[in-house]
């Protein structure tokens, strides 16, 4: 077969490239650069996939804990001042209003709520909590409460007492069956002023929603009891609305306002957490750019290795060219060398990154134990552990970036080898 009719990436090109990658002992410098390039690509891809997995897991866990224990949309009334000068936001016709809001397409549940901030007490332990007055049927529709990460007690006994977060239980030193006091400064009005209202309730259910600030402050009280305790007889403070697709909750804002009446105001979960989610998105983009630069730096090591390889193999290139090897074949041989290093490094990096995401819990536990439990503070980060979610799109992005960069940078030293003059290469041999 004539040289000019050789098929691209023929078997002999792969064979020569493989022999060049396995540098001889006398050419150990080339071998060292090969290993440096391989390890660099592997670590860069591993870091990229691990970061993308943690990023995806953190956002998914954060959003899931928000949507799993909080309203997707909160409907409340504008402040109204009566003729006597008393101001109120309460909803008097909450049953009719809830029925009208529930009729909006896309709404799955509407629950009237009583909300108030009080102090919870047990013996000498005190903690500030937020009380949610709700019916048992509506409480059972909250995913992170009825199906929490951990739970003690029986939620069906809700009308016999209160349901509290595990953080509240820990702060007060109570468990199921104990009694806690709920103290509100806005109690009974007397001639001598307003006296605090104090009621004692049995703890019938303790839940761990998976979000520190919820478990640390959340207390659920039966709706009718909350009405009596907060002086909300016959009214509700707001409506808790759940929708089918929380990501598109903004599309329901106008229909919900129309259904809720002239005094209604809307507050969505995106309004409450939108700033954090936008900051998280910016951080994600910045981290991807930074790690992409690391992949590029690792890929540039391939150029160094190939330049040294081309220099050491000048005599071989001259001989092969005089034997009839085309410039295209020489280019492909050295391209295979560089691209092979990048491809193998990418494969190793993908394997390590996927293993890290899959086994992040034991890895995190080991690191946390080595740091004596101070590596991750749920009071600051809101979540109890470092989450990771392995997504195909993230892996494909890392693979595409790594292979694209490593293959592109390989072309330049490969072209230099292909354009080498065989006469000049053999002149001093």
- State percent of the chain over pLDDT 90: 32
Lowest-confidence range among 66-75, 79-88, 241-250, 259-268? 79-88
pLDDT band at 3 (very low <50, low <70, confident <90, very high): very low
62 has a pLDDT exceeding 60: yes
Indicate whether 268 pLDDT > 80: yes
Give the pLDDT confidence of 6-49 residue by residue, as tens digits.
667 777 778 877 777 765 555 544 567 778 888 889 999 999 99
DSSP 28-89: HHHHHHHHHHHHHHHHHHHHHHHHHHHHHHHHHHHHHHHHHHS-SEEEEEPPEE-TTS-EE-
Torsion angles phi and psi, residue 180, rounded to 5: -125, 155
The pTM (predicted TM-score) of the whole model is 0.72
pLDDT at 89: 82
């Amino acid at each position: 077969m004539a040289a000019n009719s050789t098929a691209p990436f023929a078997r002999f090109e792969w064979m020569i490239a493989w022999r060049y990658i396995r540098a001889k002992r006398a050419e150990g410098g080339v071998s060292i650069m090969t290993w440096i390039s391989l390890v660099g690509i592997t670590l860069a891809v591993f870091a990229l996939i691990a970061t993308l997995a943690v990023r995806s897991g953190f956002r998914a866990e954060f959003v899931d804990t928000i949507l799993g224990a909080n309203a997707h949309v909160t409907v409340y009334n504008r402040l109204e001042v009566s003729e006597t000068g008393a101001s109120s936001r309460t909803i008097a016709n909450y049953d009719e209003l809830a029925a009208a809001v529930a009729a909006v397409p896309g709404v799955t549940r509407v629950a009237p709520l009583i909300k108030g901030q009080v102090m919870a007490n047990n013996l000498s332990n005190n903690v500030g909590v937020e009380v949610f007055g709700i019916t048992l049927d509506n409480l059972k529709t909250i995913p992170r409460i009825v199906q929490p990460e951990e739970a003690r007690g029986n939620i069906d006994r809700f009308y016999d007492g209160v349901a509290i977060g595990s953080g509240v239980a820990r702060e007060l030193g109570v468990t199921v069956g104990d009694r806690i006091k709920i103290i509100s400064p806005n109690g009974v009005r007397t001639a001598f002023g307003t006296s605090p209202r104090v009621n004692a309730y049995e703890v019938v259910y303790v839940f761990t929603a998976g979000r520190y600030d919820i478990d640390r402050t959340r207390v659920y009280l039966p709706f009718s009891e909350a009405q009596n305790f907060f002086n909300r007889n016959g009214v509700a403070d707001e409506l808790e609305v759940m929708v089918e697709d929380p990501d598109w909750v903004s599309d329901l804002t106008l229909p919900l306002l129309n259904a809720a009446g002239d005094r209604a105001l809307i507050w969505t979960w995106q309004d409450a957490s939108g700033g954090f989610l936008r900051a998280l998105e910016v951080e994600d983009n910045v981290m991807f750019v930074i790690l992409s630069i690391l992949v590029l730096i690792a890929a540039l090591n391939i150029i160094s290795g190939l330049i040294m390889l081309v220099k050491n193999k000048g005599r071989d290139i001259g001989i092969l060219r005089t034997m009839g090897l085309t410039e295209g074949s020489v280019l492909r041989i050295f391209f295979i060398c560089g691209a092979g290093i990048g491809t193998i490094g990418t494969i190793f990096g993908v394997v390590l990154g996927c293993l890290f995401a899959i086994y992040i819990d034991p890895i995190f536990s080991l690191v946390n134990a080595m740091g004596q439990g101070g590596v991750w503070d749920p009071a600051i980060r809101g979540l109890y552990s470092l989450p990771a979610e392995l997504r195909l799109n993230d892996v494909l992005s890392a693979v595409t970036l790594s292979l694209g960069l490593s293959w592109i940078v390989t072309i330049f030293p490969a072209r230099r080898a292909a354009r080498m003059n065989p006469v000049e290469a053999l002149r001093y041999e």
